[in-house]
């Protein structure tokens, strides 16, 4: 199968250039000014950008065990619609991904039925209960790319240290959802103005920053690769910036919602704004933007966390934490940041493709001959509306529901296969 | 009684949706209602044929009875639903409960719930006016209105009045609504608590004064209000003992000396006598604590009347 993409502005070597791209089977065969080879399918990308397929280091596919929220088929279809070609599945399913059988189940189902590639992250502790180390080495043979107890956080510093040593032993990065449970308490929203005013429990930035600080010190003494998930505060970013300048092997990611919204979104009690870490103060959002630009924040990751309507349609205290992210990720960044000249398109694209590809050590994330043909084609000015009817995810728990944003993914191609094609 | 402002079918989630003029209009209406309550025949037919539903997901005695009396005295029919909050996460959702009740034909809802934002949900599902009878730590606007009424009745205005609220500010819905309402009417409000019971950014949000020392807080106050101190806060590690709390933060004969000699003594109830307020003060001539309860019925009558579009 050969696909020829013509007339598009392709993102190559950090710039947008008019190039034709020829794909054969799974790979990018040729990139040139004009390609006149025969192809089975010719896509005219006139007026559109051709980008490396997005890679999401942080997603919840809810499969196995919570398939009323999402499953691997709907989750990967939603991801493909959002321009993603590779996503990493967090292990807090039911059962937890702390064993080789569940790793293999996810990978097989994704390979057979999925619309994008799925990499599995294994649980840091058995059952993510924060008591015993899970079988990293056996799970790595099955394909896991990192370990994490995301959704929760190992509170015990000694056990965290042991997990880091053991992960280092088998060359696996440790991904930390930084949250001190006692400081976070029964908090629901950012501690400060919004919690005081609405009478909702507050989650202070300190709950995140103290764990980041602890884990930087532990990781430094061990040498393990530490990755801070969904960073959200200015002080947390400062800690990572300092650690990077000290030469510590640390990376971090930020979500589209922490880049595009602040705590004011909670007024009105929309439970689609209930998320961990909570939407923070505007100065924290600005710090996230600045850190993404200066490279302190390496990646944009969605933390796609689908929940069904009947779970979210509850009182703010009862509704689960999490925002649905695959389909709105690029459009929200494009509309709120890129179109308003807060961040340039290049920075966003690299943080969603080339850089996470490096984290995973994959032969993708760039439009280069010989690389895997993982691409998307986006019309940056076209409207995209998010409704129950248009969304492919099983759930619609996004603050952007029933809104129209700009930046429509027209095609997604994953290893030479068209996995999404807009009507 | 003229309905100069348009209150019809509005919600009362909190006082921030109402202007100072509108709040004063509610107080004027409440004054007329209070007169009705002083008659031997305490009932007017203005809301005949209207049905009000109370939804109480949290235990309450005074607020529920006060609202029920208010509705009865305006000749509305009242139906009551109550449930235990602890069973909420397992039981029927608020949405289903409310949709079921609404299908029976309700004109307005009064809700008390331990979770903030619940009144907004009831309105979203029904489109009917909703009166917030207290939602978690968030808001309790009718309590604030009766507190404001009690000062207004005695002093004629809140403009320039120094009001000091002392106690567990962090867990109080009463204080938040009072801050909004009293500030709108020109009062200077000071909140006082130890730092463990004081939420962040209060000055920034409400334009109030924040004090941690009782003497500073009470000095020259025109009205002082104590808030209920709950023993479980001790287990949460927020204060060491009721003895120490009482010694440093209770309203007593000694501490009230710092306020103006005729300062009004207030409490939203239920009181912990001997803890946040001593009986010598609660039962003194300066106390308007029982007036607050009396005024509560009148204020709630006024709101129901205005919102349900009653005819005088």
Q: Cα–Cα–Cα angle for B148, B17, A197, nearest 5°?
A: 80
How many C-beta atoms lie closer than 10 Å to residue B81's C-beta? 15
* Percent over 70 (pLDDT), chain B: 96
3-state SS, one letter per residue, for chain A: CEEEEEEEEEEECCEEEEEEEEEECCEEEEEECCCCCCCCEEEECCCCEEEECEEEEEECCCCCCCCCCCCHHHHHHHHHHCCEEEEEECCCCCCCCCCHHHHHHHHHHHHHHCCCEEEEEEECEHHHCCCCECCHHHHHHHCCCEEECCCCCCCCHHHHHHHHHHHHHCCCCEEECCCCHHHHCCCCEECCHHHHHHCCCEECHHHHHHHHHHHHHHHHHHCCCEEECCCCCHHHHHHHHHHHHCCCCEEEEECHHHHHCCHHHHCCCCHHHCCCCCCCCHHHHHHHHHHHHHCCCCEECCCECCCCHHHHCCCCCCCCCCECCCCCHHHHHHHHHHCCCCCCHHHHHHHHCHHHHHHHCCCCCCCCCCCECCEEEEEEEEEEECCCCCCCCCCCCCCCCCCEEEEEEEEEEECCEEEEECC
The reply to whether residue A315 touches residue B115, judged by beta carbons under 8 angstroms, is yes
Region of B292 on the Ramachandran plot (φ > 0 left; ψ -120 to 50 alpha; else beta): alpha
Of B89, B71, B93, the C-alpha closest to B80 is B71
Q: Does A402 touch chain B (CB under 8 A)?
A: no
| β-bridge partners, A377 | A50, A411
CA–CA gap between residue A59 and residue A304 (Å, rounded): 5
Q: Could you tell me what percentage of chain B is helix, strand and coil, using 3-state DSSP and rounding each to the nearest 5?
A: 45, 15, 40
pLDDT tens by residue, B199-219: 999 999 999 999 999 999 999
Separation in Å, CA of A368 to nearest CA in chain B: 52
The average pLDDT across A23-36 equals 97
Within 10 Å of residue B93's Cβ, how many Cβ atoms? 17
Tell whether B183 is within 8 A of chain A (Cβ): no
What does the pLDDT average to over B90-100?
Answer: 88
Query: pLDDT for A49-62, tens place per residue?
Result: 999 999 999 999 99
Q: Which residues contact B311 (CB under 8 A, 6 or more apart)?
A: B46
C-alpha span between A28 and A415 (Å, rounded): 9
Confidence of residue B113 (pLDDT cuts 50, 70, 90): very high
Q: Using a CB-CB distance cutoff of 8 angstroms, which residues of chain B are in contact with residue A313?
A: 93, 95
Which of A411, A321, A318, A366 lies closest to A92 in space, CA to CA?
Answer: A321
Token code pair at residue B248: 């440093």
CA distance A209 to chain B (A): 18
> B269: distance to nearest CA of chain A, Å?
19
| Among the partner residues A199, A268, A315, nearest to B94 by beta-carbon distance | A315
Q: Are B13 and B69 in contact (CB under 8 A)?
A: no
First-residue to last-residue Cα distance in chain B: 6
Q: Give the nearest partner residue to A269 out of B93, B120, B205, using CB atoms.
A: B120
d(CA B293, CA B288): 9
Question: Does A231 touch chain B if contact means CB atoms closer than 8 Å?
Answer: no
Cβ–Cβ under 8 Å, residues A254 and A292: yes
Q: When comparing pLDDT for B4 and A344, which is higher?
A: A344
Omega within 30 of 0 (cis) for the link into A281: no
CB distance from A195 to chain B under 8 Å?
yes
Q: Which of B160, B227, B161 has the alpha carbon at shortest distance from B199?
A: B227
Is A310 an interface residue toward B (CB < 8 Å)?
yes
Does the distance separating the beta carbons of B116 and A196 come in below 8 Å? no
Closest A-chain CA to B203: A193
Q: Which residues of B touch A263 (CB under 8 A)?
A: none
- Dihedral, CA of residue B87, residue B90, residue B95 and residue B96, to nearest 10: -100
pLDDT above 70 covers a percentage of chain A that reads 100
Phi, psi of B149, rounded to the nearest 5 degrees: -60, -40
Q: Is the pLDDT of residue B243 over 70?
A: yes
Is the CB of A196 less than 8 angstroms away from the CB of B173? Answer: no
Residue B252 has pLDDT above 90, yes or no: yes
Residue keyed to tokens 């280092």: A168
Of A192, A195, A316, the CB nearest to B117: A316
Which of A199, A264, A270 to mutate to probe the B interface, most B CBs <10 Å? A199
A197 contacts on B by Cβ (under 8 Å): 176, 205
Inter-chain residue contact B201 with A192, CB threshold 8 Å? yes
pLDDT-above-90 percentage for chain A: 100
How many CB pairs (< 8 A) connect A and B?
61
Q: Compare all CA atoms of chain A with the CA of B180 and give the residue at the minimum distance.
A: A197
DSSP lists the bridge partners of residue A16 as: A11
Q: Does A272 touch chain B (CB under 8 A)?
A: no
What confidence tier does B311 reach under pLDDT thresholds 50, 70, 90? Answer: low
Which of the two residues, A216 and B60, has the higher pLDDT score? A216
Residue-level pLDDT at B86? 55
Range A379-405 average pLDDT: 98
* CB A151, CB A130: distance < 8 Å: no
Task: Please list, in sequence order, all residues whose beta carbon lies within 8 angstroms of the beta carbon of residue A365, skipping any fewer than 6 positions away.
Answer: A52, A53, A55, A353, A354, A355, A356, A357, A358, A371, A374
* pLDDT bracket for residue B232 (50, 70, 90): confident
Interface contact A268-B204, CB threshold 8 A: no
Q: How confident is the model at residue B89 (pLDDT cuts 50, 70, 90)?
A: low
Closest CA to B256 of B231, B236, B281: B281
Point out the least confidently predicted range of A167-171, A192-196, A408-412, B57-61.
B57-61
| pLDDT exceeds cutoff 80 at B185 | yes
Per-residue pLDDT band at B231 (split at 50, 70, 90): confident
A375-385 vs A49-52, strand pairing mode: antiparallel
> Cβ of B201 under 8 Å from any chain A Cβ?
yes
Q: Is A191 at the interface with chain B, CB within 8 A?
A: yes
DSSP strand pairing (A15-24 vs A27-32): antiparallel
How far is the alpha carbon of A390 from chain B, nearest alpha carbon, in Å? 24
Residue B261 contacts by C-beta under 8 Å, 6 or more apart in sequence? none
Strands (E) located in B50-100: 51-56, 77-82
Any B CB within 8 A of A196 CB:
yes
* pLDDT tens-digit map of A88-102: 999 999 999 999 999
Flag whether residue A315 sits within 8 Å of chain B, measured between CB atoms. yes
Residue B94 to residue A316, Cβ atoms within 8 A? no
pLDDT of residue A365: 97
The C-alpha torsion from B241 through B244 and B245 to B251, rounded to 10°, is 140
- Residue B1 has a pLDDT of 47
- Tell me the C-alpha distance between B94 and B240, whole Å: 37
**Confidence band (pLDDT; 50, 70, 90) for A34?**
very high
Contacts of B88 in chain A (CB under 8 A): 315, 318
- Which active-site residues of A does the annotation give? 303
The verdict on a CB contact (< 8 Å) between A314 and B139 is no
Of A199, A268, A314, nearest to B136 by CB-CB distance is A199
pLDDT confidence band for B309 (50 / 70 / 90)? confident
* B116 contacts A269? CB cut-off 8 A: yes
pLDDT at position A348 over 80? yes
Chain B closest-CA separation from residue A203 CA (Å):
12
* Span A206-241, pLDDT tens digits: 999 999 999 999 999 999 999 999 999 999 999 999
Cβ-Cβ contacts under 8 Å, B135 against chain A: 199
- With CA atoms as reference, the chain A residue closest to B119 would be A315
Tell me whether residues A195 and B173 touch, CB distance under 8 A: no
Give, rounded to a whole angstrom, the gap between the first and last alpha carbons of chain A. Answer: 22
What residues in B contact A265, CB-CB < 8 Å? none
- The three-point CA angle A22-A28-A32 to 5° equals 50
| Predicted ipTM of the assembly | 0.91
pLDDT given at position B234: 85
Q: What is the pLDDT of residue B87?
A: 57
Whether A302 and A388 have beta carbons less than 8 Å apart is answered as: no
Contact A180, A276 (CB under 8 A): no
Q: In the beta sheet, which residues pair with residue A2?
A: A24
Place of tokens 């202070």: A204
Q: What is the mean pLDDT of chain B?
A: 94
């Amino acid at each position: 199968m050969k696909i020829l993409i013509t007339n598009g502005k392709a993102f190559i070597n950090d710039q947008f250039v008019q190039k034709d791209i020829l794909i054969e089977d799974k790979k990018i065969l040729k990139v040139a000014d004009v390609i006149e080879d025969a192809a089975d399918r010719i896509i005219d990308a006139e007026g559109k950008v051709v980008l490396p397929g997005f890679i999401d280091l942080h997603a919840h596919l809810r499969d196995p065990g919570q398939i009323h929220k999402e499953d691997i088929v709907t989750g990967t279809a939603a991801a493909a619609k959002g321009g993603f070609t590779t996503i990493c599945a967090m292990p807090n399913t039911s059962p937890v991904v702390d064993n080789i059988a569940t790793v293999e189940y996810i990978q097989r189902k994704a390979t057979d039925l999925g619309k994008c590639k799925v990499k599995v992250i294994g649980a840091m502790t058995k059952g993510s209960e924060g008591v015993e180390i899970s079988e990293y080495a056996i799970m790595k043979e099955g394909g896991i790319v990192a370990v994490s107890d995301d959704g929760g956080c190992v509170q015990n510093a000694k056990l965290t240290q042991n997990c880091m040593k053991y992960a280092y032993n088998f060359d696996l990065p440790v991904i930390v959802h930084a949250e001190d449970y006692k400081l976070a308490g029964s908090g629901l929203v950012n501690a400060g103005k919004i919690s005081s005013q609405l009478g909702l429990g507050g989650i202070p930035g300190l709950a995140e920053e103290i764990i980041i600080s602890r884990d930087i010190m532990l990781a430094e003494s061990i040498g393990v690769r530490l990755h801070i998930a969904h960073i959200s505060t200015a002080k947390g970013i400062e800690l990572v910036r300092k650690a990077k300048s000290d030469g510590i092997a640390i990376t971090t990611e930020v979500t589209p919602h922490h880049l595009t919204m602040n705590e004011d979104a909670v007024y009105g009690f929309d439970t689609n704004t209930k998320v961990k870490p909570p939407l923070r103060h505007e100065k924290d959002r600005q710090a996230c933007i600045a850190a993404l630009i200066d490279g302190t924040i390496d990646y944009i990751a969605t933390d796609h966390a689908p929940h069904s309507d009947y779970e979210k349609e509850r009182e703010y205290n009862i509704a689960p934490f999490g925002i649905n992210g695959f389909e709105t990720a690029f459009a929200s960044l494009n509309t709120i940041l890129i179109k308003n000249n807060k961040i340039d398109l290049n920075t966003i694209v690299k943080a969603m493709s080339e850089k996470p590809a490096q984290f995973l050590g994959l032969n993708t994330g760039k439009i280069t001959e010989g690389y895997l043909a993982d691409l998307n084609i986006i019309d940056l000015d076209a409207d995209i509306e998010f409704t129950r009817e248009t969304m492919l995810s099983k759930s619609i728990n996004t603050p952007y529901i029933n809104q129209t944003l700009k930046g429509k993914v027209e095609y997604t191609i994953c290893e030479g296969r068209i996995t999404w094609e807009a009507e | 009684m003229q309905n100069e402002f348009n209150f019809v079918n509005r919600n009362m989630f909190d006082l921030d949706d109402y202007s100072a003029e509108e709040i004063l209009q509610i107080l004027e209406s409440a004054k007329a209602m209070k007169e009705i309550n002083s008659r031997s025949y305490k009932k007017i037919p203005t809301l005949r044929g209207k049905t009000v539903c109370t939804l109480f997901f949290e235990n309450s005695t005074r607020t529920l009875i006060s609202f029920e009396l208010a509705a009865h005295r305006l000749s509305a029919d009242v139906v009551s639903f109550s449930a235990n909050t602890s069973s909420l996460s397992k039981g029927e959702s608020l949405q289903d409960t409310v949709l079921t009740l609404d299908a029976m034909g309700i004109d307005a809802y009064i809700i008390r719930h331990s979770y903030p934002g619940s009144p907004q949900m009831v309105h979203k599902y029904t489109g009917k006016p909703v009166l917030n009878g207290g939602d978690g730590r968030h808001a309790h606007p009718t309590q604030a209105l009766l507190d404001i009424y009690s000062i207004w009745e005695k002093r004629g205005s809140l403009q320039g009045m120094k009001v000091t609220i002392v106690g567990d500010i962090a867990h109080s819905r009463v204080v938040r609504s009072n801050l909004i309402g009293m500030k709108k009417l020109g009062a200077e409000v000071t909140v006082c608590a130890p730092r463990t019971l004081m939420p962040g950014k209060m000055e920034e949000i409400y334009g109030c004064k924040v004090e941690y020392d009782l003497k500073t807080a009470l000095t020259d106050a025109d009205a002082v209000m104590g808030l209920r101190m709950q023993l479980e806060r001790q287990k949460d590690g927020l204060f060491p003992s009721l003895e120490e709390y009482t010694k440093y933060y209770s309203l007593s004969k000694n501490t009230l000396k710092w306020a103006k000699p005729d300062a009004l003594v207030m409490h939203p109830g239920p009181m912990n006598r001997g803890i946040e307020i001593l009986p010598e003060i609660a039962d003194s001539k300066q106390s308007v604590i029982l007036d607050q309860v009396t005024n509560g019925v009148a204020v709630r009558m006024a709101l129901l009347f205005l919102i349900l579009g009653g005819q005088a």
